[in-house]
Amino acid sequence: MGLLDFIFGKKKEYPTVVPQKYSPIEPYDIPHSPELDKISMDVQRISAQYDQVHRDNISAFDYRFIQDTNEKELSGVEKIFLKYICGRYVHDTYIAGYWTHTHKIDYRAVMSKFFNLGLIEVHIDLQDCTVKSLKDVLRKRGLPISGKKRDLIARIERTNSLPSQEAESLEKYRKYTPTKHGADIISTLQEDRPAEELSDFPKEMEVLFTKEEVNQHKEEFFIHLRETLQKENLTVQAKELYPGWRFLWHDCQIGQIVFTEFGHKMQWISGASVPNYENILQMSEEDINKYIHATCGDVVSAEGLTLQDCIDKIPYWIQHIRVLIEDEKV
């Protein structure tokens, strides 16, 4: 402080130091590598190309414009695909990429063949429609809109079938449904299915959560994880690896998690312990390897989990961190 400042009572102002806020989850930064960047870009480019080929394949078909096809009997793959496609919405259908890339399904040709052989048809099931959409139909007809959903459906069905204008307003609820002939083929599918031909087909996965629920579960899980880490006064590093996250403590992986519509997946280490290094000195080289391997624990993976299932498994991550901390002290 200068003399004049002292005389006039001025105080020297020092820059304010803002303490860094404690964060229990920090981003994990991998050292930059041009070689890895190039590999990553190549993988993304190839993946995008494969995805575009599949999307072009699916978008080429429109049920209103059926192309001429041969009348040959369905192959084993086509029978399985018939079962796969039935019950799916016409305009909002997710078709797995393996149908295009692994089983070489020409979507437009195969779907046209199904229609030409009288195996499938398109149908609007009023049970799939929302109450609001059903009331809109009744309102346009000048009919009452009161009652439960089953009452609204009964009222619509008592009058007449859906005219084209009304059907257009409910177009997003239109599904592919099997005809009697198609249903007969599907019902005998297991008997006709050659095991060696279709053994590599993935099992159909049941959708458990909406996309909104998946995002909500991810947010809630991270909230619980942060709270748990704060209580334990611990910090972990998080690395986002599509489609999930990897968690590390001092560069040691403690677990992974993936949030999906088909149930969440989680990985953790179970049974890890701190080695007794005094005992190691008395072991043979072979016994040392077995002992160290045993203290590392086992990698456990689970899928089809709910949000609560994932939260309940956070203590496994904490326990493994505690083992790593104790190991560093030795």
Read off the pLDDT of residues 92-147 as tens digits, 9 standing for 90 and up.
667 888 888 888 899 999 999 999 999 999 887 777 777 887 888 777 777 887 88
Q: Note down pLDDT in tens along the chain; length 330 residues.
A: 444 454 344 444 544 444 445 567 776 555 556 665 665 677 677 778 888 888 888 888 888 888 888 777 888 889 989 998 988 888 866 788 888 888 889 999 999 999 999 999 988 777 777 788 788 877 777 788 788 888 887 877 776 666 666 666 677 778 898 999 999 998 887 544 444 444 445 555 677 888 889 999 999 999 999 999 999 999 999 888 777 888 998 888 889 999 988 889 999 988 888 887 777 778 887 887 787 778 888 888 898 899 999 999 999 999 999 988 888 776
| Phi and psi, residue 25, nearest 5° | -125, 120
Q: What is the pLDDT of residue 197?
A: 45
Determine contact, residues 254/268, Cβ cutoff 8 Å.
yes
**Taking the domains of the chain in order of start, what are their residue ranges?**
63-129+170-198, 211-329
Contact 54/107 with Cβ under 8 angstroms?
A: no
Tell me what pLDDT residue 230 has.
Answer: 92
pTM of the model: 0.49
Report pLDDT for 191.
Answer: 46
Residue 190's pLDDT is: 59
What pLDDT shows up at residue 195? 41
pLDDT of the residue at 161: 63
- Contacts of residue 211, Cβ cutoff 8 Å, sequence gap at least 6: 261
Q: Is the peptide bond before 34 cis (omega within 30 degrees of 0)?
A: no
Distances in Å between the alpha carbon of 273 and those of 194, 292, 320?
Answer: 48, 9, 8
Alpha-carbon distance of 146 to 148, in angstroms, equals 7
What count of other Cβ atoms lies within 10 Å of the Cβ of residue 89? 15
| Beta strands per DSSP E along 171-330 | 174-178, 236-241, 244-249, 252-258, 264-270, 298-305
Amino acid identity of residue 237, one-letter, is Q
State whether CATH 1.10.10 applies to domain 63-129+170-198.
yes
